A and B are shown apart, each in its own frame.
Chain A
Amino acid sequence: MNASPARPSKQAGIAPLAGVRVLDLTWALAGPYGSLHLALLGAEVIKVETITALDAMRRGIYALSADHERSPTFNSINLNKLGLRLNLKHSEGLALFKELASISDVVVENFRPGVLQRMGLGYDILRELNPTIIVASSSAFGATGPESRRPGYANIFNAVSGLGHLTGYADGPPTEMRDSIDLRVGASLAYAVLTALFHRRRTGQGQRIDLSSVEAIVSLVGHTVVGYGMTGEASRRQGNADSVMAPHGIYRCQDDASDGPRHADTWVSIAVDGDAEFKALCRAIGASEMAAEPRYGDAALRKRHEHELDDKVRDWTAQRTPREVTKTLQGVGVAAFPVMSTKDLVHDPHTKARGTWRTVTHPTVGRQTVQGLAWKSSDGMEQAMRHGPLLGQDNDYILGGVLGVPREKIQRMTDDGVFQ
């Protein structure tokens, strides 16, 4: 593996990807979330952009201002990455990229299939430059197959995977989902790349990874495909109902006065499995007699009379705040938790106690609250955080420090538009 520059390190344990260099051509959300994992695990991730091919998250509704440095989405999903401004349509820009590829470990991209080849950076070319390189591609439908050239974003993956069909009210339409779907794809991409790096450490062998975003989401509802094969019937959305558990739902609560008016949009989730939990629920809501009624005597019967049970639970939650319900029911071993808004989450004592919120200082945005890796580890594998890169902020280090291009030549290239 190649040497990487010294990186600020605070309370961090060993960086799993120390010495790994990644050329990051991804844009939007899915690909950048995949490479965010690599950056937080200590790889040197070089994000390549130009002013004429800005990351989509720097523009439009995501940027929320005309300044491409101020997008909170861009800046939170590209933490710890270096910014290289490089025009790959310029022959000298392309040559510099190839030079970097020859001393990198991973190239990751999420263009439409065929685009990388047209740019002159297909896997065969990159492998010739660097026989052990890992080239990871994420696309809507995958790089092969009759629909491979079709474009897609998160809400397309959600629809075609079957997830959208399974989500929503039983008497309503399917449900659209966007950003979080991309992040699920990104996590899947990160997993594949990490296993490829693990294999490379053992064998010295690189490879090509071809991820289908639609399939990544199918794998998260995969049991419905097996169930369809078994029964010939496709399951459909059923609101918050479960096929076994009852009560199992989201119930309206009283507003929490301490939280300011919420316009009666306060809810709690309750899920009850098995006789013991049902009995505990009945006692907690002051309906002990319900626990003894034969019509609720086992799980199948409770499921059959689910609507009656829901009414009983709803009458009780309506007089209480989500926090009161949660405290009471958790106290007797029943699974209950408020429907958390993003604001609730940020101010919640539990998320604070777990150190979920991290602060980075961005040169133009200022202090920004962000999240790191999705898990904690005893050895502190997450590396210290640096703000999302300004466009081209690390050109000097990468061109001069890594590639050793003389200063005069960089100046000449700048004049020639290599970084435009």
Chain B
Amino acid sequence: MEGKAAKTGRRALEGITVLEWAQRVAGPFCGRLLADMGAEVVKVEPPDGDASRRHGPFLNSAPDPETSALFLYVNANKMSVTLDPTTPRGAELFRRLAATSDILIEDRQPGEMQSLGLDYQSLRQANAGLVYASITPFGQTGPYAGYRAYDLNIFCAGGEANALPGSLSNQLFPGREPVRAGEGLADYDAAMTASVAIVSALLARDLSGAGQHLDISRQDAAMALTRETIQRYTGYGEVVTRDRAYFLGGIFQCRDGYVALFPREDRHWLSLCEVMGRDDLSRDERFSDLEGRSTHKDILNAALQEWVEDKPMMEVYEKASDGGCPAGYYATAAEVAASAQMASRGFFVELEHPRAGRLSYPTSPYNMSETMPSTEQAAPLLGEHNAEVFGRRLGLAAEEMNELRRGGVI
């Protein structure tokens, strides 16, 4: 497959216009998800740019707002305009852009958009169909609505950090602090939630004709993903912590890395015993069902560790999974980038950027037979589309734009 760099047909959100006034990852990655589905996304940046432009790594390790890997990834496929909506003239231009958009994504503290006259109630006057998505740390309501939070705080607020790292780390370093996952995972999670909410609101608009205000709390988005461990508390009073006991399988250390083995069902277990050459284990009555294997998981985990210890990671992965046991290898970004499986599905595209050069980007994880998502454009330069958006879409004259530029509005 060629990769999802070029449109192969009509995309699902073709014709939908999005105004994005959001920084870092939660709002912008939501914009990217919509853009890959075919929406036209205009990203509004403050005159000094989105904060993620200051986040490394950068090309040649030289800080440059145009070559932040994080910014480039979450903002591919968009247009960028610079605008300061906190000035009266800036707010007026913002209002005009919102009047012709289907979706607005904003991530300001609750109350701030209202003070600028740019809240949902104000903007819907000129655009009844507007879907207005507010993404904030703790939502628009409740005692913590005014709290500040970065990804780390949200990951802790969602409940998942309390149970991480767990398993092998916890055995090696008992009593150490909890950890967050990934590099900003909770922000990406909020982006995903916001995208699902927005498309749901578009489907509702089909039936009602009206838009709505979506209150996306990053804490709510994180808690939604912890619902199964929360359920263990509300259902059984069990508080899952870093001491949690997992079922048989998990993480094992090989000669040159780590593997995940997860022989859940009988057939998985039997296949793994065969690959390991351990007839004694597959014949042992104690391990013949899920319950028995759970009871004796310490013996069995030790047998798995012994088997993998002196072997290369990829050999264990291939042998176990070819045999039919769920298995994985703990990949670095280098190994992800080299995955023949992902490449064969067109998951990576190469995009040319005037400052960052030609780079490979992950795209959408779903292949769709009629509305294949695509990522055609690298991220925009700061204000790259000022002329196109203010000129073409809003019809400002060149002289007027110069004046706004001089006034620091754009």
Contact = CB atoms under 8 A, between A and B. Distances in A.
Contact of A377 (B215, B227, B228, B246): B215
Interface residues of B, number: 158
Counting chain B CB atoms within 10 Å of each CB, which of A220, A234, A251 scores highest?
Answer: A220
Interface in B303-352: 321-322, 324-337, 339-342, 344-345, 347-348
Given A163-B185, A374-B221, A350 B138 contact: yes
Contacts of B194: 375
Given A156-B262, A375-B194, A176 B214 contact: no
Nearest to A236: B332
Nearest to A138: B366
Given A176-B166, A195-B199, A271 B207 contact: no
Contacts of B188: 219-221
A227 B359 CA distance: 9
Interface in B176-212: 176-183, 185, 188-189, 192-197, 199-204, 206-208, 210, 212
A354 interface: yes
Contacts of B299: none
Given A178-B246, A337-B153, A267 B177 contact: yes
Given A155-B250, A225-B361, A371 B223 contact: yes
A118 to B, nearest CB: 16
Contacts of B140: 376
B285 interface: no
Interface stretch (A97-105, A241-249, A395-403): A241-249
A375 B215 contact: yes
B196 A190 contact: yes
Contacts of A252: 177
B12 A198 contact: yes
A46 interface: no
A311 to B, nearest CB: 14
A223 interface: yes
B368 A207 contact: yes
B213 interface: yes
Contacts of A370: 227, 231, 234
Interface in A189-229: 189-192, 194-199, 201, 203, 205-216, 218-229
Contacts of B246: 176, 178
A73 interface: yes
A249 B153 CA distance: 9
Nearest to A378: B213
B371 A195 contact: yes
Given A142-B367, A269-B152, A341-B162, A235 B227 contact: no
B368 A337 contact: no
Contact of B139 (A13, A60, A225, A354): A354
B312 to A, nearest CB: 15
A198 B59 CA distance: 39
A224 B196 CA distance: 24
Contacts of B143: 349-350, 353
Given A208-B369, A343-B233, A159 B200 contact: no
Contacts of A215: 342, 345, 347, 362, 364-365
Q: Interface on chain A toward B: helix, strand, loop, or mixed SS? A: mixed
Given A226-B359, A354-B142, A175 B235 contact: no
B169 A187 contact: no
Contacts of A265: 241
Contacts of B329: 159-160
A356 interface: yes
A114 interface: no
A351 B120 CA distance: 24
Contact of B336 (A140, A190, A218): A218
Interface stretch (B68-76, B80-88, B92-100, B380-388): B68-76
Chain B interface mostly: mixed
User: Residue among B12, B194, B249 with the most chain A CB within 10 A?
Assistant: B12
B228 A225 contact: no
B225 A342 contact: no
Nearest to A379: B212
Nearest to A376: B215
A278 B227 CA distance: 34
Given A180-B226, A339-B156, A195 B200 contact: no
B340 A146 contact: yes
Contact of B204 (A14, A29, A179, A250): A14
B141 A338 contact: no
B160 interface: yes
Most buried by A among B143, B204, B231, B333: B333
Interface centre among A13, A173, A342 (most CB of B within 10 A): A342
B177 A251 contact: yes
Given A223-B70, A226-B360, A374 B342 contact: no
Contacts of A59: 290
A226 B199 contact: no
Interface in A311-346: 326, 330, 333-346
A132 to B, nearest CB: 11
Given A179-B228, A191-B192, A250-B178, A218 B150 contact: no
B181 A269 contact: no
B328 A342 contact: no
A13 to B, nearest CB: 7
Interface stretch (B251-259, B392-400, B401-409): B251-259
Contacts of B185: 163, 220-221
Interface stretch (A83-91, A164-172, A287-295, A409-417): A164-172
A301 to B, nearest CB: 15
B54 A244 contact: yes
B294 interface: yes
Contact of A226 (B69, B152, B241): B69
A64 B235 CA distance: 10
A56 B326 CA distance: 15
Nearest 5 A/B pairs, CB to CB: A72-B235, A215-B365, A374-B224, A227-B69, A159-B328
17 contacts: A41-B203, A72-B235, A142-B365, A143-B367, A152-B328, A155-B249, A173-B169, A174-B330, A184-B192, A187-B193, A191-B196, A219-B364, A225-B333, A233-B57, A240-B177, A334-B148, A351-B223
